[in-house]
């Protein structure tokens, strides 16, 4: 059952004495849409480049489609689609010529997919790439990446700078690709609403440290907000493992907690509140609380199966 | 069946729950009738631009709660049973509606008796066939 297209083992990167990626153990399940999250400079792009063998790890290793990332063969590379940050294209080629040029590097090249994506983003095949808007250029790059029908698609911040319409097209294309159960997408993003829509798994890097690697559902289950109502002024917030955030009003105390357990429940009850009610918490708020300013990196959310 | 589902991202309500809630309401209001077929998981996921697992999870919950029924090889349909929410969920929704009502009404200065009178009259208009006798223990 445990079929992973990417696995990293203690993958570490230093630039000089600066640790960019702390020993990282990550597993990307086959068939998932895997959201790779973290603040700017958390080490996401470096991790992706190490996975692809474009950056040499300082320590540790990564396996991609079963092969060590330092020795990926051309055949294996052809099964990976990589959309780098920034969407670089040759400006003097037309949209169609870009496809023709790129197709020569691949044994598999599906013009149907290419034209489908080009069309989906509303591009004219005769337009020169330098005349395209940012969103259109993203569409072109996506078409170039998808046409070889890669088994594994790695998108580094694909939505950066896209307008809402282009972003929607991007998400639709991502869902379209994973219609086939053996296709996997790993994408990094800051747009949690996009992640919320399409991702089923997430990993969170926080200042080079992995803080979560689980299904989106598990993450939303594990980061909880509860409201405790009191007859009078609430007591000071209790010492609870995993407490991310708290605020108090006249007779209410609201706590955001990671990895709630029966023990947490016991502590909350010992405060003798009038009521304890779960409160809904959006992904963005959960994420911000999780990476909040407490400066602690002690909580880790593993997958539900691992925790059992 | 007219099934209008609107997904709001960035809200405090997870997407799967928005789907559960809106299908539940469509069934409750009669917009979706028993026997109506729902779009396939794949089709609804594409229409809403969300991960198919999210739709599958919503359908599973609704099947578990008896709102929908899954017929092998044919698809997912609105179930016959009209009671669409679990007891705990009915209770939760009642509390929620009550909170809103109390919050709005508190500053209007009516007496408790006036409010009860009003509610009884409205309830008998809105739900004439429901028994209204309350047994006090």
Statement to judge: residues A199 and A228 lie in one domain = no
Whole-number Å distance between alpha carbons of A54 and A33: 22
Statement to judge: residues A41 and A182 lie in one domain = yes
User: Do the Cβ atoms of B14 and A220 come within 8 Å?
Assistant: yes
Nearest-neighbour CA in chain B from A67: distance (Å): 29
Measured between beta carbons, the chain B residues lying within 8 angstroms of A280 are 12-14
* Residue A117 placed within a domain: yes
* Residue A305 placed within a domain: no
CATH code of residue A201: 3.40.50.300
Give pLDDT tens digits for B4-61. Answer: 889 988 888 889 889 999 998 888 888 888 899 999 999 999 999 999 999 999 999 9
Whole-number Å distance between alpha carbons of B52 and B55: 5
* Residue A195 placed within a domain: yes
Statement to judge: residues A187 and A225 lie in one domain = no
pLDDT given for residue A143 in this prediction: 93
* Mean pLDDT confidence for A247-265: 87
pLDDT given for residue A250 in this prediction: 85
* Residue B93 placed within a domain: yes
Estimate to the nearest angstrom the gap between the alpha carbon of B77 and the chain centroid: 16
Give pLDDT tens digits for A170-180. Answer: 999 999 888 88
User: Do the Cβ atoms of A196 and B57 come within 8 Å?
Assistant: no
Q: Kindly indicate the confidence band of residue A68, based on its pLDDT and cuts at 50, 70 and 90.
A: very high
Domain residue limits at B63:
15-78
* Residue A213 placed within a domain: no
* Residue B136 placed within a domain: no
Statement to judge: residues A54 and A110 lie in one domain = yes
pLDDT given for residue A2 in this prediction: 57
pLDDT given for residue A53 in this prediction: 93
* Residue A214 placed within a domain: no
A191 inside 8 A of chain B by CB: no
Statement to judge: residues A95 and A123 lie in one domain = yes
CATH code of residue A270: 3.30.70
Statement to judge: residues A228 and A152 lie in one domain = no
Measured between beta carbons, the chain B residues lying within 8 angstroms of A175 are 45-46, 49, 51-52
User: DSSP string of A6-38?
Assistant: EEEEEEEEEETTEEEEEEEEEEEETT-EEEEEE
Pick from B48, B58, B12: nearest CA to A198: B48
Statement to judge: residues A102 and A242 lie in one domain = no
* Mean pLDDT confidence for A201-206: 92
Check pLDDT > 70 for residue A306.
Answer: no
B49 inside 8 A of chain A by CB: yes
* Residue A277 placed within a domain: yes
A174 inside 8 A of chain B by CB: no
* Residue B68 placed within a domain: yes
Q: Return the minimum-mean-pLDDT range out of A56-65, A75-84, A104-113, B119-128.
A: B119-128
Q: Position of tokens 């594990």?
A: A222
Measured between beta carbons, the chain A residues lying within 8 angstroms of B7 are 197
Statement to judge: residues B91 and B61 lie in one domain = no
Query: Quick one: what percent of chain A has pLDDT higher than 70?
Result: 95
Statement to judge: residues A67 and A91 lie in one domain = yes
Q: Kindly indicate the confidence band of residue B84, based on its pLDDT and cuts at 50, 70 and 90.
A: low
pLDDT given for residue B137 in this prediction: 44
Statement to judge: residues A162 and A86 lie in one domain = yes
Among A156, A185, A207, residue at a domain's last position? A207
Domain residue limits at A36:
4-207
pLDDT given for residue B83 in this prediction: 59
Residue-wise burial string across B12-44, b where 16 or more C-beta atoms lie within 10 A, e elsewhere: eebbbbbbbebbbebbeeeebeeebebbebeeb
pLDDT given for residue B131 in this prediction: 57
B61 inside 8 A of chain A by CB: no
User: Do the Cβ atoms of A280 and B12 come within 8 Å?
Assistant: yes
- ipTM computed for the complex: 0.80
Statement to judge: residues B27 and B51 lie in one domain = yes
User: Do the Cβ atoms of B45 and A199 come within 8 Å?
Assistant: no
The count of domains in chain A is 2
């Amino acid at each position: 059952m445990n079929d992973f297209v990417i696995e990293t083992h203690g993958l570490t990167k230093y630039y000089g004495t600066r640790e960019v990626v702390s020993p990282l153990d990550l597993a990307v399940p086959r068939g998932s849409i895997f959201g790779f999250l973290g603040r700017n400079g958390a080490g996401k792009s470096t991790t992706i480049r190490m996975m692809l063998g474009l950056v040499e790890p300082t320590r540790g290793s990564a396996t991609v489609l079963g092969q060590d990332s330092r020795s990926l063969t051309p055949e294996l590379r052809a099964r990976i689609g990589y959309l780098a940050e920034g969407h670089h294209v040759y400006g003097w080629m037309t949209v169609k010529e870009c496809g023709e040029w790129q197709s020569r590097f691949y044994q598999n090249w599906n013009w149907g997919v290419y034209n489908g994506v080009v069309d989906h983003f509303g591009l004219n095949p005769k337009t020169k790439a330098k005349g395209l808007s940012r969103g259109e250029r993203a569409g072109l790059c996506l078409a170039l990446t998808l046409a070889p029908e890669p088994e594994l698609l790695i998108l580094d911040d694909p939505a950066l700078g896209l307008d809402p319409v282009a972003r929607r097209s991007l998400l639709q294309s991502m869902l379209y690709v994973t219609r086939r159960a053996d296709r996997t997408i790993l994408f990094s993003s800051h747009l949690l609403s996009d992640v919320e829509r399409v991702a089923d798994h997430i990993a969170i890097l926080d200042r080079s440290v992995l803080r979560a690697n689980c299904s989106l559902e598990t993450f939303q289950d594990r980061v909880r907000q509860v409201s405790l109502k009191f007859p009078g002024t609430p007591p000071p917030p209790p010492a609870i493992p995993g407490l991310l955030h708290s605020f108090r009003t006249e007779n209410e105390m609201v706590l955001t907690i990671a990895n709630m357990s029966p023990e947490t429940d016991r502590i909350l009850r010992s405060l003798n509140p009038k009521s304890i009610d779960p409160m809904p918490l959006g992904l963005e708020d959960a994420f911000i609380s999780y990476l909040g300013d407490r400066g602690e990196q002690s909580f880790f959310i593993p997958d539900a199966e691992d925790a059992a | 069946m007219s099934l209008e589902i609107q997904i709001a991202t960035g809200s405090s309500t997870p997407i799967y729950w928005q789907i559960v809630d809106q299908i539940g309401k469509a069934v409750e209001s009669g917009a979706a009738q028993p026997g109506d077929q729902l779009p396939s998981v794949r089709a609804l996921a594409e229409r809403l631009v969300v991960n198919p697992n999210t739709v599958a999870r919503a359908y599973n919950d609704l099947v578990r709660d008896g709102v929908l029924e899954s017929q092998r090889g044919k698809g997912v349909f609105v179930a016959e049973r009209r009671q669409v929410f679990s007891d705990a969920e009915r209770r939760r929704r009642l509390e929620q509606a009550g909170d809103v009502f109390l919050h709005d009404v508190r500053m209007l200065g009516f007496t408790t008796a006036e409010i009860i009178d009003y509610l009884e009259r409205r309830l008998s208009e809105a739900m004439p066939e429901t028994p209204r006798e309350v047994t006090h223990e």
